[in-house]
Structure 1
């Protein structure tokens, strides 16, 4: 993987690095905070062509969404396409998974407005910057079943039963439309102010794609619960019908099992702990 010091010297030769902190890492990137003001994200992709293309697309997408998004998003200071590095001024606030707000339902109008606007982005303006992601519903279910087999021993028997009923059921029909999606809108990518309960930014657009808009709403349900989900769709430009809601719940259920498996197998235990804590509402019979 790329050495962050060499990247900084190349693109910001007169910038004095006083402090350098690793903020964390996921499947795709390692993220650093420099001097408490500059975020530098380094791709973990080993394939040079794929790494360059992903970085180019994300930098271009962030530029294209400037002025379109209703919430702050990163504004690149530099993008090293070859090395897979992207730098931007740190947005204020902390991720919601690290700093839960007292009344998350108050976030719903802002989230509904943000997703309405994002999902209305003209596709001809972004289709060279994001790719279609037509992952079949059966593949989602199969991935979730594989993840469950890896982690079932970490889940109490009463919770296993509804999970196993879900995995044995038929997935919902495929979506009829696609839009621009963030495609990874978990609470780790939603920032909130340190002294307010207001959303201050949306980060990590690496996985953005042309996909079912219910994927974004699904992670609101997964991470913030059914009440926040219902309030968010009440503020969404095109309220989902029963089929849309069924897909959102389906994606939430699949993705929470994959999050738990990622946490257990990678050592990022906070992902597993959060996912297990949310299983009751995600697999409720009333969801």
Structure 2
């Protein structure tokens, strides 16, 4: 596969000297490669030229909206489903190791970021991002199926918390739909020296319930950071919104637990188990 990446670079950047290509990792839909410690090339498992074109256009629009750095596209190869970006500074928050780091410092910049992208005109962004309306009852059913696969890995004292959630009715449907990152987990927030240096991976961006973005802040950074983010957020967050945030945070945690224990990196499962008590209490 690294040979394919070298061929793409030769085609689109013929004067660029490639010294090194290494695979950084993969997700459900993509592989990611690092080139010369300065470029990242994301290649889809299944080529979708229209989706590739849409993502490149979406990133250009997001760069105009976002007060935080987002990837700058160097080239897009629609036929192969590849996009190359300039590498942003920083380490993914889920891999960041600093015993003195206080995530509460991220609340205000995250609020400014979410206010900016959620404030984008949906009619404009609808051309660049799909509508994502996944019914809460179906999401709850999916969460229960995932949980039954990994139940034995959940410490016995915490199983009652999860099972009580799975037995409760899902929240009401969302209010106004907005343009969202839609996968704002800690792995997609870059940090350096206690500050956010970038928001990456916009593949799942959609017009959807803003609770999806807040839910992963709640899951990965905790309820205190979530509440502080809401304090600085431009739009009103109602009690019904909070109920949906908590619902999506819990479903997302179960999904990460199942992913980390099956095909994904193990650290997803470890983080899910670590965050389970505060997310389900």
TM-score range, shorter chain: over 0.9
Cα root mean square deviation, aligned: 1.2
Out of 61-70 and 81-90, give the one that drifted further: 61-70
* 2:277 corresponding residue in structure 1: 280
Deviation at 1:267, TM superposition (A): 4.6
Structure 2 distance, partners of 1:108, 1:59, is 28
1:75-96 deviation per Cα after TM superposition (whole angstroms, max 9, x unaligned)? 1010111111000110111100
Which 4+ runs in 1 deviate beyond 6 A?
none
1:32-87 deviation per Cα after TM superposition (whole angstroms, max 9, x unaligned)? 11000011111112xx4xx2222111100011122211111011010111111000
The reply on whether 1:210 has 2:207 as its aligned counterpart is yes
TM-score (norm 1): 0.94
**Aligned positions of 1:198-277 closer than 5 A:** 198-277=195-274
1:82-137 deviation per Cα after TM superposition (whole angstroms, max 9, x unaligned)? 11100011011110001155100011000011101110011222111111011000
CA 1:122–1:100 in 2, change beyond 3 Å: closer, same or farther? farther
Q: Does the 8 Å CA contact 1:31/1:40 hold for their aligned counterparts?
A: yes
The reply on whether 1:126 has 2:150 as its aligned counterpart is no
Structure 2 distance, partners of 1:125, 1:71, is 20
Deviation at 1:240, TM superposition (A): 0.9
* 1:15 corresponding residue in structure 2: 16
The reply on whether 1:60 has 2:61 as its aligned counterpart is no
* 1:96 corresponding residue in structure 2: 93
Structure 2 distance, partners of 1:125, 1:74, is 20
Q: Does the 8 Å CA contact 1:64/1:125 hold for their aligned counterparts?
A: no
Structure 2 distance, partners of 1:116, 1:96, is 21
Deviation at 1:4, TM superposition (A): 1.4
CA 1:211–1:228 in 2, change beyond 3 Å: closer, same or farther? same
TM-score (norm 2): 0.96
Structure 1 distance, partners of 2:156, 2:11, is 54
Give ranges in structure 1 of 5+ residues lacking alignment.
none
Structure 1 distance, partners of 2:82, 2:257, is 28
The aligned length equals: 278
The reply on whether 1:77 has 2:77 as its aligned counterpart is no
Structure 1 distance, partners of 2:108, 2:182, is 20
Structure 2 distance, partners of 1:124, 1:136, is 22
* 1:161 corresponding residue in structure 2: 160
* 1:30 corresponding residue in structure 2: 31
Structure 2 distance, partners of 1:125, 1:239, is 22
The reply on whether 1:115 has 2:114 as its aligned counterpart is yes
Q: Does the 8 Å CA contact 2:125/2:207 hold for their aligned counterparts?
A: no
1:5-35 deviation per Cα after TM superposition (whole angstroms, max 9, x unaligned)? 2211211122111111222111121111100
